[in-house]
Each structure stands twice: as C-alpha cells, then as structure tokens.
C-alpha cells in the first residue's frame, strides 16, 4: 500500500474495503456490500469516492461492490377461488413477519384486482432505477410492488394473458434488495399468472387459503394439485373465516361449516397451519390500511402464530 492511500485506513467505512490498487493515477477499490440495501450501497460508494478523490496521486476512482446473493424465499399464496380473504391474509401475514424483524416484501400478483396498496396503505407510485422498480415501503415495514400502484384507481385492466404475465415479471424482477421473504398474492384460479410465476421464479413453497365451505375446499384442492404438479412444495393449508362470535350475545356459530380445511389437509397429506375466525374488526382495520397483525392484540397474536408456522415449514423444506 502506498503512503498516499493511508488516510483510507482511518475512514469510517474502512472495514468495507477489501482491496485497493493505485495504478497510473487510477484507484481501484473493491468494497464488501454484504447486508446493504441498494440505496445504502450507493451511499457507501459515494462516500468513499469523495474521500479517495482528494488523495495525492489519485486522478480517477473506480469502485466495485461485491455482495453475496440474497437467498430470498419466495412464497406463493393462492386459494383456487376468490372471496376467501387471501389478500387480507397475505397483508397481515407480511405485517406479522415484519413485526418479528423479518425483512419481508409482497408482490401483488392479482393483476386484475390489486388490493394490496389499500390493505398495506402503500399507494405511492414506485420509482424506477436501471429499469427496475423500487418497492414502496408501507407504514408496517412491508415492501410492496403492485400494478395497483401504477394505474389510476378504478381503472379496468383489459389485458390478455401475455400482458398480465409480463407485468408480473416486472414486479418479480424489482429491486427487492435485502428482502428475506417475498410473499406473492396470487389471483384466484390456476391459469397464466400462476404458471408464469413458477416458470420465472420458482417459489420455495406455496400457502393455500380456504374457508371451511365445501365449494372453497374443492377449489383449494385444485390449487394444491397445481403446485404439486409443477414441483412447488405446499407449505400448508390455512382455514379462514372459521367460526364467528356474535359481538352482542357472545354466541359462536359456524356460517361456513367447521373443520373442513383441517380434514382436507389430512386427506391430502399437507400440513394444516391453523384457522382464523370471521372478524369485522380485522376486515375494517385491514381495509383502512392498518393491518392488525402489526399491533398487539388477539389478531396480532393469531397472525404471529401463523407466521411462526410458515417460517417453520420453510426451514423444514430447506433441510
């Protein structure tokens, strides 16, 4: 090391410098960017470039930042049919993971009916850098990319399959930085969007949402069959809208039936991760962009338990 580069040893970012070579007035620096998000890497490069330019003998600075690829776990969340609370479940599960300190993001792949900007209160239009969309961070700490952030509210998307698949690819290829778990809120059914996701970025696993109702379970079974046919492990089945407690008399009832999802999971040989009851407060808070899973309380506890079960299944299939 030449004496002219000595000042870099005392720079606040010196621990990030892995190699430095000064040749014919051109300083080459290799930096360790492990654990840094895109904007943090940019800031690191700017600081060291500024510090290096004033050194004796340095006429130009070239910086390369190395960082190991983030081993991100992508989880597809499907239902087979609409109206089972899949999007609300996705938003609150993401909020529960964020509360636990997990760096989590959501891809709103329900191209024709994007609801995550409302559920997560993340309506801002994403910026783009180097042809990559930069996710918008919600108040609950969840990163989000959704077609709903890119079009005017209430606009109908009359897109054919290839256009919808292309939009999904843009969301998947966004700059997710150091995100550890990426939840994909799939549209109902087993069509182009689901197949495009599997082909473009094979999920680590899939979570299937159903109500106890027989019709819902029939479609959930189809979703499970699709994931198994394309080689995506089914992490588990969750029963939503399972029971209802009257806020006036306290009596409990089962408007959609009872225990159907748990029985189906056993029959299909997939894990049953739990059930969540019908809840007006959960619906109201989520629709207002305040996922109750990010707060303390019964709903927060229920989603925290579900988040733990999901992470446990991800760890199991990774072994």
Cβ neighbours of residue 312 under 8 Å, at least 6 residues apart? Answer: none
Confidence of residue 104 (pLDDT cuts 50, 70, 90): very high
Q: Are strands 272-275 and 234-239 parallel, antiparallel or unpaired?
A: parallel
Q: What CATH number does the domain containing 51 carry?
A: 3.30.300.130
Q: Do residues 253 and 307 both lie within one domain?
A: yes
pLDDT in tens, 207-233: 999 888 777 888 888 889 889 888 999
CATH of the domain at 90: 3.40.50.300
3-state secondary structure of 26: strand
Contact 130, 174 (CB under 8 A): no
Q: Which of 185-189, 194-198, 309-313 is predicted least confidently? A: 194-198
Instruction: Please give the tally of structural domains in the chain.
Output: 2
Q: What is the mean pLDDT of residues 176-183?
A: 93
Q: Is residue 166 located within the same domain as residue 58?
A: no
Cβ(301)–Cβ(308) under 8 Å? Answer: no
The DSSP secondary-structure symbol of 89 reads H
- Identify the pLDDT of residue 241: 83
Do 48 and 127 have their domain in common? no
Query: Residue 73 — very low, low, confident or very high, per pLDDT cuts 50/70/90?
Result: very high
Q: Give pLDDT tens digits for 272-300.
A: 999 888 887 888 898 899 999 999 988 88
Which three-class secondary structure string do you get for 31-83? EECCCCCHHHHHHHHHHHHHHHHCCCCCCEEEEEEECCCCCCEEEEEECCCCC
Radius of gyration of the chain (CA): 23
Range of the domain at 298: 73-318
- Is the same domain home to 36 and 142? no
| pTM, full prediction | 0.78
Across 266-293, b (16+ Cβ under 10 Å) vs e yields: eebebbbbbbbbbbeebeebbeebbbbb
- Specify binding-site residues for ATP: 80-87
Q: Are residues 241 and 137 in the same domain?
A: yes
Query: Binding site: what residues are annotated?
Result: 80-87
Tell me: do 227 and 302 sit in the same domain.
yes
């Amino acid at each position: 090391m030449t004496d002219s580069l000595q000042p870099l040893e005392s720079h606040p970012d010196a621990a990030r410098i892995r190699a430095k070579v000064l040749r014919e007035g051109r300083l080459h620096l290799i930096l360790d960017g492990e654990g840094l998000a895109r904007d943090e890497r940019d800031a690191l490069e700017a600081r060291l470039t500024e510090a290096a330019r004033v050194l004796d003998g340095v006429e130009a600075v070239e910086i390369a930042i190395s960082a190991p690829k983030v081993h991100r776990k992508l989880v597809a969340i499907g239902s087979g049919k609409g109206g089972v609370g899949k999007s609300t479940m996705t938003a609150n599960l993401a909020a529960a993971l964020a509360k636990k300190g997990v760096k989590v993001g959501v891809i709103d792949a329900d191209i024709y009916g994007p609801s995550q900007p409302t559920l997560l209160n993340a309506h801002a239009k994403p910026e783009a850098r180097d042809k990559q969309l930069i996710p918008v961070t919600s108040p609950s700490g969840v990163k989000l990319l959704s077609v709903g952030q890119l079009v005017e509210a209430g606009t109908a998307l009359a897109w054919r399959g290839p256009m919808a698949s292309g939009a999904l690819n843009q969301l998947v290829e966004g700059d997710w930085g150091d995100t550890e778990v990426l939840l994909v809120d799939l549209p109902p059914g087993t069509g182009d969007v689901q197949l495009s996701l599997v082909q473009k970025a094979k999920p680590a696993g899939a979570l299937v949402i159903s109500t106890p109702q027989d019709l819902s379970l029939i479609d959930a079974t189809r979703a499970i069959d699709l994931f198994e046919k394309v080689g995506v492990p089914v992490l588990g089945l969750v029963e939503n809208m399972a029971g209802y407690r009257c806020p006036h008399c306290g009596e409990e009832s089962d408007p959609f039936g009872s225990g159907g999802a748990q029985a189906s999971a056993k029959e299909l040989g997939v894990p049953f991760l739990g059930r969540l009851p019908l809840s007006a407060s959960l619906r109201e808070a989520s629709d207002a962009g305040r996922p109750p899973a990010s707060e303390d309380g019964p709903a927060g506890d229920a989603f925290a338990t579900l988040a733990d079960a999901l992470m446990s299944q991800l760890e199991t299939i990774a072994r």
